[in-house]
């Protein structure tokens, strides 16, 4: 587990206890602001259990088979994932992935998630 | 605007305005776009007119807000349908049992009120998932384990009152049995605490289950008599060590003594972990390794083995058995796990081997011997829930993999309880494989082995896919109902089912002219006279809808 992942998990925990998902990120003085802290927190909480790297993640396995020979099955490595596509799939679901309700991933959180997953996509 | 059946648009608009006053505009949902999120993603009526839709959804943040919402619903006669996390996929998801009900979405009630390490219990709200509680325990370095189902993102409360099961010790796997104390909002809006919680300032709400007088907790599971807003659960003290062992037996006829010996050992608490039966010879995996088979593929069989499997009946042929004996491939293998101090569990394993040694040719193996705790990377090599860790790996079942290039749109679980005997396994295979063939349903491998979630019985689980084709789904729905009926004719009944099938299942529980269902209705009329709460859940309808909708 990377340091980033651990930090994001603590953020999610704070969210549970306080009943809010406000990202409580404390940065060192010389660390640049992390524009994707909120999106990464949503990803870690809601997406990573199925989409992180490795064979134990069914979302990654499904995408690896679907895009065999085309691209990686790891969402975080995609460079052609526009934010609106993320937002659409989270709200509609696909195959055995169900849609996510607004009490789970709010509109602002979804926006942050979509921007995070689209960060390597040109034009996003 | 969608409107609940029997409610005028103006009344509903007034109710929505009152709901909004309680929870705020952000937490009342009534557009089709928002309500689509409350569809059952695995609905057997996917995209058909009968698919269950909510007329609205409202998300309170506290018991007090739930009380206010229920009072409004009572005044305006609005049907409401509480959900916890809405993630019991395959059993109804977030959709109401009766289309047009207002979903009361409790996901925002996500407080972990207490985790008591010394007394090994937790008190939580309905929006708390197994992931949430597990992370909280890790963060606070508490030496307690949860028992979680697959997948682990559901609600402790939702799963317990749906009477779900998990994978650690017998004392914890039955999630309703392992609860201790409830807080509920009754259909009147009144707040109730059960067990010792009925004493103001109780000191033992999560320590003694029943309190004094009638113990009512059971009637609030799989029912529609109240909204559970808090619930206590007994946790397992973090064990010092873990043993995972196998008992392999060579012959088809060894199944009965294998099961009988398991029953003795489990009922005497010589073994406590989730017993898991597989057939290496038939190629039926243990439940704890289904995800592994989906991830890395099933075992490779020799050409001869494949050919022999084509000729089996009820998982048997003399040739297959001879092949197994010759090749050293056991017909049956039982996985057992033990939790506790190493010297205790090693003694339990020795006693276990001694009992199974009565079966000729039985062989034994310690597969894993762990001093606990272990790091997360080690846990990934296991079926995580057996080590008290929630996971979503089970979504490899039905999801796209190299071995399943065509993912389904979901599934519905056919899951009757059958006796804990070898004979019952064979009879269930005979009965349901014949039925599946007649009904043209893709339920069967050549042989199915049951699951041991609960002591004293098996649950014989068959997954029925949900497809994109309404005609196929219709055939499967009708077949599913027929399977329920056939099960009932053999004295077997489902432990739990999706709303679409709740009437069919409850019809099987018909002793003495449906005396049990009639009692449910008597309770409904007394507790919820206006019939606002979850109409139709487990086929309990309010008086004004009885015989009309059911």
DSSP state of B201: T
By CA distance, what is B379's nearest residue in A?
A56
List, as ranges, residues 54-93 from A with C-beta within 8 Å of B: 54-59, 61-62, 65-66, 91-93
| Residues B541, B529 contacting (CB under 8 angstroms) | no
The answer to whether position B4 is within a domain reads no
| Residue B477 pLDDT exceeds 60 | yes
| Residue B409 pLDDT exceeds 90 | no
Integer Cα distance of A44 and A47 in angstroms: 6
Average pLDDT over residues B495-502: 96
Contact A100 B392 (CB under 8 A): no
Greatest extent of chain B over all pairs of C-alpha atoms, in Å: 77
Structure token digits, residue B271: 């073994």
Average pLDDT over residues B371-391: 95
Q: Using a CB-CB distance cutoff of 8 angstroms, which residues of chain A are in contact with residue B87?
A: 98
Note whether B119 and B178 are same-domain residues. Answer: yes
Note whether B95 and B132 are same-domain residues. Answer: no
Integer Cα distance of B532 and B107 in angstroms: 21
Phi and psi angles of residue B115, each rounded to the nearest 5 degrees, phi first: -125, 115
Q: How far away is chain A from the Cα of B1, in angstroms, using its nearest Cα?
A: 19
| Residue B294 pLDDT exceeds 80 | yes
Structure token digits, residue B128: 């708390």
Quickly list DSSP for B139-185.
HTT-SEE----SSS-SBHHHHHHTT-B-SS-HHHHBTTTTEEEEEEE
Q: How far away is chain A from the Cα of B407, in angstroms, using its nearest Cα?
A: 6
All residues at 6 or more sequence positions from B471 whose CB lies less than 8 Å from its CB, including other chains: none
Say yes or no: A29 contacts chain B, CB-CB below 8 A. Answer: no
Domains and CATH numbers, chain A: 3-117 (1.10.760.10)
Note whether B322 and B287 are same-domain residues. Answer: yes
Last residue of a domain, one of B214, B237, B260: B237
> Mapping DSSP to helix (H, G, I), strand (E, B) and coil, where does residue B262 land?
helix
| Residue B293 pLDDT exceeds 90 | no
Phi and psi angles of residue B352, each rounded to the nearest 5 degrees, phi first: -60, -45
Annotate B267-302 with b (16+ C-beta within 10 A) or e (fewer).
eeebbbbbbbbbbbbbbbbbbbbbbbbbbeeeeeee
CATH number, position B455: 3.40.462.10
| Residue A8 pLDDT exceeds 70 | no
Contact A58 B405 (CB under 8 A): no
Last residue of a domain, one of B396, B430, B454: B396
| Residue A14 pLDDT exceeds 50 | no
Of B61, B380, B391, the CB nearest to A19: B61
CA distances from B211 to A64, B197, B208, B220 (A): 54, 8, 7, 16
Q: CB-based burial of residue B149 (10 Å sphere; 0-12 exposed, 13-18 middle, 19+ buried)?
A: buried
Paired strand residues for B493: B417
pTM for this prediction: 0.93
Integer Cα distance of B448 and B352 in angstroms: 25
- Cα A69 versus chain centre, distance: 24
- End-to-end CA distance of chain B: give it in Å, rounded: 26
Q: Using a CB-CB distance cutoff of 8 angstroms, which residues of chain A are in contact with residue B89?
A: 98
Of A16, A49, A61, the CB nearest to B396: A61
Q: What total number of domains does chain B contain?
A: 4
Integer Cα distance of A62 and B451 in angstroms: 27
| Residue B403 pLDDT exceeds 90 | no
Note whether B251 and B390 are same-domain residues. Answer: yes
ipTM of the complex model: 0.92
All residues at 6 or more sequence positions from B381 whose CB lies less than 8 Å from its CB, including other chains: none
Average pLDDT, chain A: 81
> Mapping DSSP to helix (H, G, I), strand (E, B) and coil, where does residue B297 land?
coil
Note whether B329 and B229 are same-domain residues. Answer: no
| Residue A93 pLDDT exceeds 50 | yes
Structural domain span for residue B210: 110-237
Which of B37, B137, B294, B381 to mutate to probe the A interface, most A CBs <10 Å?
Answer: B37
Phi and psi angles of residue B420, each rounded to the nearest 5 degrees, phi first: -85, 65
What is the total residue count of chain A?
A: 124
Structure token digits, residue B224: 């529609």
């Amino acid at each position: 587990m990377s340091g980033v992942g651990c930090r994001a998990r603590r953020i999610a925990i704070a969210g549970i206890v306080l009943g809010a998902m406000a990202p409580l990120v404390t940065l060192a003085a010389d660390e640049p602001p992390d524009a994707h802290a909120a999106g990464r927190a949503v990803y870690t909480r809601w997406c990573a259990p199925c989409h992180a790297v490795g064979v134990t993640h069914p979302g990654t396995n499904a995408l690896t088979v679907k895009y065999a020979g085309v691209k990686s099955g790891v969402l975080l490595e995609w460079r052609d994932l526009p934010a609106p596509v993320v937002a659409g799939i989270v709200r509609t679901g696909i195959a055995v992935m169900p849609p996510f309700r607004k009490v789970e991933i709010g509109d602002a959180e979804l926006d942050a998630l979509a921007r995070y997953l689209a960060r390597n996509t040109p034009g996003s | 605007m969608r409107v609940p059946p029997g409610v005028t648009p103006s009344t509903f608009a007034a109710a929505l305005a009152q709901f909004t006053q309680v929870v705020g505009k952000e937490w009342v949902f009534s557009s089709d776009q928002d309500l689509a999120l409350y569809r059952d993603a695995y609905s057997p009526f996917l995209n058909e007119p009968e698919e269950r839709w909510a007329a609205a959804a409202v998300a309170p943040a506290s018991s007090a807000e739930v009380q206010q919402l229920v009072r409004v619903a009572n005044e305006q006669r609005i049907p409401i349908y509480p959900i916890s996390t809405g993630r019991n996929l395959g059993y109804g998801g977030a959709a109401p049992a009766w289309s047009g009900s207002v979903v009361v979405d409790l996901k925002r009630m996500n407080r972990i009120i207490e985790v008591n390490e010394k007394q090994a219990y937790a008190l939580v709200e309905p929006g708390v998932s197994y992931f949430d509680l597990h992370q909280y325990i890790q963060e606070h370095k508490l030496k307690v384990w949860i028992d979680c189902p697959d997948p682990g993102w559901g609600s402790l409360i939702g799963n317990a009152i749906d009477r779900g099961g998990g994978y650690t010790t017998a004392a914890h796997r039955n999630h309703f049995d392992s609860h201790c104390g409830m807080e509920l909002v009754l259909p009147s809006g009144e707040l109730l605490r059960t067990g010792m919680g009925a004493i103001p300032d109780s000191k033992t709400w999560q320590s003694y289950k029943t309190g004094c007088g009638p113990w009512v907790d059971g009637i609030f599971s799989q029912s529609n008599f109240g909204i559970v807003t808090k619930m206590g659960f007994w946790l397992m003290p973090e064990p010092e060590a873990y043993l995972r062992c196998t008992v392999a037996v060579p012959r088809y006829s060894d199944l009965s003594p294998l099961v009988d010996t398991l029953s003795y050992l489990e009922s005497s608490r010589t073994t406590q972990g989730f017993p898991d039966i597989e057939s290496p010879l038939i190629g039926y995996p243990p439940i704890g390794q289904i995800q592994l088979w989906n991830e890395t593929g099933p075992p490779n069989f020799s050409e001869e083995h494949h050919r022999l499997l084509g000729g089996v009946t009820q998982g048997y042929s003399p040739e297959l058995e001879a092949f197994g004996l010759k090749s050293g491939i056991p017909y049956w293998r039982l996985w057992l796990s033990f939790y506790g101090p190493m010297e205790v569990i090693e003694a339990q394993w020795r006693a276990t081997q001694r009992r199974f040694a009565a079966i000729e040719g039985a062989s034994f193996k310690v597969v894993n011997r762990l001093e606990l705790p272990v790091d997360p990377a080690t846990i990934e090599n296991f079926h995580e829930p057996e080590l008290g860790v929630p996971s979503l790996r089970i979504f490899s079942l039905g999801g796209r993999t190299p071995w399943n290039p065509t993912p389904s749109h979901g599934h519905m679980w056919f899951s009757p309880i059958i006796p804990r005997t070898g004979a019952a396994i064979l009879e269930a295979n005979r009965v349901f494989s014949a039925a599946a063939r007649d009904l043209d349903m893709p339920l069967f491998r050549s042989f199915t082995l049951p699951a041991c979630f609960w002591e004293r019985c098996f649950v014989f689980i068959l997954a029925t896919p949900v497809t994109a084709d309404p005609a196929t789904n219709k055939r499967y729905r009708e077949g599913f109902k027929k399977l329920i009926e056939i099960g009932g004719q053999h004295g077997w009944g489902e432990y739990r089912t999706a709303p679409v099938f709740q009437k069919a299942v409850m019809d099987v529980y018909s002793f003495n002219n449906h005396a049990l269902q009639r009692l449910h209705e008597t309770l409904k009329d007394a507790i919820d006279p206006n019939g606002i709460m979850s109409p139709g859940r487990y086929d309990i309808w309010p008086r004004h809808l009885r015989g009309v909708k059911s």
